[in-house]
Amino acid sequence: MKTKKLTKKQELIIDTIKKAIDCELSVMRDFYNEGDYKLVDHCRQNILSNLSGIASYIIFSNNKVWDERLKNAYHDIRHMPELHYSYSMKCLENSQIKEKQNEK
């Protein structure tokens, strides 16, 4: 089954979502590189919360752009590696290791 391309309006929505979270993803990556894993997780949760709000708005608005195409594009953003649960768990483990090292 061939997936249809996004409409112009849907492409604009996805581009806007990507731009909206790009800054926060950049900050999150900086925190990760600095070893501030608690702030990494905070940023991750904030991005996911924002994405959820955006999706809810689009789904329940009357503009009728939410369909399988937009759902799939949103899914790709929502499941990027930095936003995955395993990334959060890795950060939590790194945070605990760092705290133990600081105790010594």
pLDDT digits (tens, 9 = 90+) for 32-56: 999 888 899 899 999 999 999 999 9
Q: What percent of the chain has pLDDT over 90?
A: 49
d(CA 40, CA 59): 28
Residue 21: closest CA among 72, 73, 77: 77
Q: What is the domain partition of the chain in residue ranges?
A: 8-103
Q: Is the pTM of this model over 0.85?
A: no
Dihedral class, residue 9 (left if φ above 0, else alpha if ψ from -120 to 50, else beta):
alpha
Dihedral class, residue 64 (left if φ above 0, else alpha if ψ from -120 to 50, else beta):
left
d(CA 104, CA 97): 11
